[in-house]
Structures are given as C-alpha cells and as structure tokens.
Structure 1
C-alpha cells in the first residue's frame, strides 16, 4: 500500500557478535560465511531482488573489512554509516543511517538474519511486506515467522499476532506467537523525534503497540539466525536440505 516501489534500505550490521566468538575474534559477524556465502549477502540479495537500489549499512567491528566487502558488492549502491567511534544500538544506528537516505519509505533489515525457501514465481517476502504496509494505519510492518520455522533461534517468542495483523508483546499462553524475522517497512520520518545517542529500537516497537500501530506479516520459507558457533552447522544443514529439495 506504499504505491511506489521501495528502492532504499537500511541494514543494521554494526554489532560485535560476541556470542559468535571465537569466529568473530577474526572477522565481523556479517561476513561469517554460511554455506559459502557471507551472512550479510543473503539480506543484500533479498533487497536487490525486490528492487532496492540504494542501501545504508552501519559498521563498527572490523569496519575496514566491512567497508571493503560492501564496496565490492555488485548489486546495490551502498553508503556506509560509520559507527567506529561509538556503537549506537539498534535505534540510534537506524536513526543515523536513515539520515543518509532520501525521506520516504524504507526497508530495515538485520545483517545476521535471513530466510530461504520462498516460493518460486511468487512475490518475495519483502514484496509481500511492502504490499501489506499501510502507512495510514501502521507505524511499522514487521516480517514475522512461527517458531517452528526457525533455525538457530533461542526459542523466545517475541510477539503475538492478532487476526487483523496487529502485534503485541507475547504473554505466556497467548495465541498465535511469532518471532520477529528482522525486516521492517516504515517511513524515515518515524524516528525524527528520536534521540541522537544510542537507544534500542524496542522503544518504538512498544510505542507503536501502545497506539495500535505495530503490525506483522508472516513470511514464507525457513528463517535462519546464526548467533553462536553451534548454530552455524545447523544453518548449513537446513540450507543443504533445502537445495536438495528435501
């Protein structure tokens, strides 16, 4: 319902990846290869596939290596949001990154989460999320996934999804629990009133819930996160099974 295609994105990639040590002692988490492909490239490819032409990516840990990789990535024009001096957390990093984009609708993605198994010939998960987003009723539309279609997740249920698509924080025993899949559609103006220092984006999730303006859309396929060394072989096994068609 955003009418024009969304052609810009912000990718949150500045985290330290501490739970993925010792792998992240020698490389930034977004560049950790999963089935032979740097983790961040799954998300960048998904953005390019949906028609995004310009992305901002924030960097901190091994920032020089991140910048070199992003400069060589062929499918998008990428601007770096530099957080070498200070990590800005998810909200502060997003606000700083959005300032480097044209005001308008935008995809926001986490660099360490991705999905596989979208249906061939049908709209992608990001296409569907953009089509679902209605700025008249929503501050943000979040891509969500049922817990049983996750790999590498810690088991935490983030939200519960009502029949009309509204999200609220999950309460034990609640109906239709979902996991936040790490992709958002929103307007850049949403964070205009945000502080200029580090803060967590959950503040805006909770504000939107309070105003009945946080909505969720369930994705197709399998969702993968690689937060620990043990999650890496699990992720690669799921990808291998998917490629084998089993």
Structure 2
C-alpha cells in the first residue's frame, strides 16, 4: 500500500463480515444452510476470514445476516475464537455483534445498504476507518495489518481496495490499478482490469452524504449495491487499490466448493 505513513496512532480498528446473501448460485446447498456456514476444509466458510482478522488482533467484529441468519448467530454466539469449533467459554473477550437484516426488515440490504445499517456499531466518530470482508471468500493468509489501516487513515481516501488476478468466471475484471496507486474504472491502454477481492478498508464518510444517499444507520432498510458508490468515488480519485497475489477463491458455486475441499 503506497500511502504516506503517519506517526499518529489510530484506535483499534473494527471489521465487518458480510454474511447476509441468499447464495442463489449455491442452491440447493443453501436451501437449509446459510452460505457462510458451508464447510470448507473442516470449518465454516466464513471462519477463514474471521480467523485471519482474529489473528491480526481484530476482535471487535460486526456480522450482518439475513437468509437463515439465526443459524449464524446461534453457531457463533457473542464470543470470538480462532478455532474451527463454535465459540464456547466465559465471555471474557470482546464479542461479535450482529446486524440482523432479516429480523429488522425481512430482507437483505445488499452490500452498501448493509454496511450503512451497521455503521453506528462499526465506525463510531472517534474511529472512522474499518475493514470489510465477504464471508464467502477463501483467502486464509490475507494480512489484516494494523499499519495498513493506519496508512489508509492518513491518506484521506474514502476506500482502499484489494484486487486479485481475474479468475475464470470473471475474465474482464472489475477495476484497474493506476501507476499512482489509485483505482480506475477503466484500464489504461496496454493494461488490464482486475477482480475486486471483496476485501477493503473504508472510511465512515463514504457511507454518508454526499457519497451515499442511504440515511446514516439505514433506518428505512434501503437495499443498495456497493459498485455504483465505488465507481463514483473512483471517478473522483478517492479510492486507492493494490494487487493481492495470495490465495484467493470466490466460493460461489457448488463446483468451486467441491474443488476447494478436494484440494485440501
């Protein structure tokens, strides 16, 4: 991440795991089990990003849920654990918190709507920078480094995205990477776009006016996608990015899930 370092420390950064999707492409596996709880190499799919966050010392984590979300809340409960087993214990550590979209509104709020809904828990005014990672990606070695968040906070940008080489199911990619470290909507001549990994750092202001039209805290339950917001902020030069070349798999179909388990 090529951003100016800052000597000013920032408070402990919080994180959000996106776990509210229906998992349509995963049916029939997701008819009775939420996609984030499908087993990957002996533990739930969403446990992989959770473990990476917890290893990095990030234990204040918000999880948004919708489809069969009660199963996720029942499985994990309020206490985090770097383990393939359901968390059990005395509750001495900071716990997971849930933004239960199905219970609150009866439907999922999509990515931007879901983040906006969780914003009061996720980014209090004294700390406006936070991580977001999808609960259906396999990136077991991704480094959620505190210094990276601190550099992002010092940059003044609204978002920092991790891009990955394009997988076969997304050959045209999503965003390009400029030589200055800024994300681009279109690739310059001679280069290519890359796929958004669904891992990013965001600033609270990105989910407030004028960038986001959803009311802060999303009390009305507005469903809103993330891509239009990102494209608008990228056009304004407010989004940085970098290429991640570690293990990354979008576990989006039963075939990809089976292959990942077969390669164990």
Into which bin does the TM-score normalised by the smaller protein fall? 0.7 to 0.9
How far apart are the structure 2 equivalents of 1:11 and 1:107? 9
Distance verdict in 2 for CA 1:112–1:31, change over 3 Å: same
- Partners of 2:205 and 2:78 in 1: CA distance: 30
Q: What TM-score comes out, normalization by structure 1 length?
A: 0.84
Is the contact made by 1:11 and 1:56 (CA closer than 8 Å) also made in structure 2? yes
For structure 2, the residue ranges without an aligned partner over 5 or more in a row are 82-93
Structure 2 equivalent of residue 112 of structure 1? 136
The one-character-per-residue Cα deviations of 1:28-52 (angstroms, maximum 9, x if unpaired) are 0000111111011111111112221
RMSD, matched Cα: 2.4
Shift of 1:237: 4.3
1:224 to 228, 233, 249: 249
Q: Give the Å deviation of 1:173.
A: 6.4
Asked if 1:168 is matched to 2:184, the reply is: yes
The answer to whether the 8 Å contact 2:67/2:108 transfers is no
Q: Deviations over 1:2-47 (max 9, x none)?
A: 7326431111110000000111012000001111110111111111
- CA shift in 2, pair 1:173/1:15, >3 Å: farther
Aligned: 1:66 with 2:91: no
Aligned residue number for residue 243 of structure 1: none
- 2:29 paired residue number: 23
Which has a greater percent of helix? 1
Number of residues of Structure 1 aligned to a counterpart in Structure 2: 231
Rounded to whole Å, the distance in 2 between the matches of 1:6 and 1:74 is 16
Query: Aligned runs of 1:33-52 on 2, under 5 Å?
Result: 33-52=39-58
Which structure is higher in strand share? 1
Query: Is residue 79 of structure 1 aligned with residue 85 of structure 2?
Result: no
2:200 matched to which residue of 1?
A: 184
1: CA distance, partners of 2:195 / 2:11: 26
Q: Deviations over 1:160-214 (max 9, x none)?
A: 1111111112459651432111111122232122313111111220121111111
| Alpha-carbon distance in structure 2 between the residues aligned to 1:99 and 1:125 | 22
8 Å Cα contact 2:141-2:247 kept in structure 1: yes
Structure 1 unaligned spans of 5+: 119-123, 241-246
Residue of structure 1 in register with 2:163 after alignment: 144
Q: Which moved more, 1:215-224 or 1:127-136?
A: 127-136
Specify which of 218, 227, 231 is matched with residue 202 of structure 1. Answer: 227
TM-score computed with the length of structure 2 as normaliser: 0.79
